[in-house]
């Protein structure tokens, strides 16, 4: 019975070590992906700036869509007159 407990303990330790190694591997992978993401964002902003320098007449993408009709604020005091 005591030998079974030692085998069970050893198996649990092996599973814990494997889980720890997997977690470290995934943390490194996440770090690499995060770094790649920020590098790509930086490159996109640099390329966008280069395009804007080459073709300045072109409006930015956010302004190209037609603006929806805006509701203006009307104070109640002007309605009472």
Convert the pLDDT of each residue in 9-63 to its tens digit. Answer: 999 999 999 999 999 999 999 999 999 999 999 999 999 999 998 888 766 566 5
The string of DSSP letters for 18-56 reads: HHHHHHHHHHHHHHHHHHHHHHHHHHHHHHHHHHHHH-T
Alpha-carbon gap, residue 12 to 5, rounded angstroms: 10
The answer to whether the pTM exceeds 0.95 is no
Closest CA to 38 of 26, 30, 28: 30
d(CA 24, CA 15): 14
pLDDT digits (tens, 9 = 90+) for 18-31: 999 999 999 999 99
Identify the residue whose tokens are 């302004």.
63
């Amino acid at each position: 019975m005591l030998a079974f407990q030692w085998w069970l303990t050893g198996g649990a330790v092996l599973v814990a070590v494997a889980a720890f190694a997997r977690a470290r591997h995934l943390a490194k992978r996440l770090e690499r992906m995060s770094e790649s993401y920020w590098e790509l964002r930086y490159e996109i902003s640099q390329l966008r700036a280069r395009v804007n320098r080459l073709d300045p007449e072109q409006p930015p993408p956010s302004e190209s869509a037609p603006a929806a009709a805006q509701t203006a604020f009307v104070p109640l005091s002007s309605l009472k007159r």
